[in-house]
Amino acid sequence: MRYTPSQAAMFLMTHGALPMLTYDTLAEGITRGRQRLVELTHQDFCFDLKAWHDRLARTKSYNYRSIERPGVYPKSLLDVLHDPDWIAAVEFAEQTQLFDKLVADDAKMRQATADAERRWAGRDRFCPKCGATFHSVGDRGQCPVCYHTFFVSHPDGDPDWWRDDG
């Protein structure tokens, strides 16, 4: 099944994951769904699934649902409002201000990525796999000898390379 962006965001917020995308915790998945919805609508209804549903259903261009209307909620949405795991995850996200943290993290990672691109543009690098020296355009390089692809800023592939404590 293919989702429109609004459907995928709502699915993520109700299930905490998408078929090809999972997160470390249910709270993060739910919060990532909210983040997508905020990016899509430029509004924020926090973790209020009904408010999000109404918002999306009111605007045709979001391609949310053709049948459902504002105030008419799908069973999957109503069910999750009584799901203890979902409720606990949302409470945890609220208590830890997870949404603000994730938004700040994303901004930090974008900045670090842009900095790394500038910093490493056109400079020599050593392939961590075969030791060859070569030149590449930006942070990401592909070794011309062994074809190993890596980022000079984090050649070990650490996904948290951009964090201060990472």
Whichever of 116 and 127 has its CB closer to Zn ion, that residue is 127
Name the minimum Å distance from CB 136 to Zn ion: 12
Distance from the Cα of residue 122 to its chain's centroid: 30
What backbone torsions phi and psi does residue 95 show, to the nearest 5 degrees?
-65, -35
Whichever of 78 and 145 has its CB closer to Zn ion, that residue is 145
- Per-residue binding string, Zn ion, 104-143, x by CB under 5 A, is -----------------------x-xx-x----------x
Name the minimum Å distance from CB 148 to Zn ion: 5
CB atoms within 10 A of CB 108: 13
Residues 6+ apart with CB under 8 A from 142: 136, 148, 149
146 binds Zn ion (CB under 5 A): yes
Whichever of 65 and 129 has its CB closer to Zn ion, that residue is 129
Name the minimum Å distance from CB 127 to Zn ion: 3
Do 61 and 37 contact (CB within 8 A), yes or no?
A: no
Name the minimum Å distance from CB 150 to Zn ion: 9
Identify the residue among 15, 50, 65, 148 touching Zn ion (CB under 5 A). 148
Number of chain positions touching Zn ion (CB under 5 A): 8
144 binds Zn ion (CB under 5 A): no
The pair of structure tokens assigned to 11 is: 């699915």
Distance between CA 52 and CA 109 in Å, rounded? Answer: 27
C-alpha pair distances (Å), 35 with each of 43, 45, 119: 10, 10, 30
Interface ranges with Zn ion (CB under 5 A): 127, 129-130, 132, 143, 145-146, 148
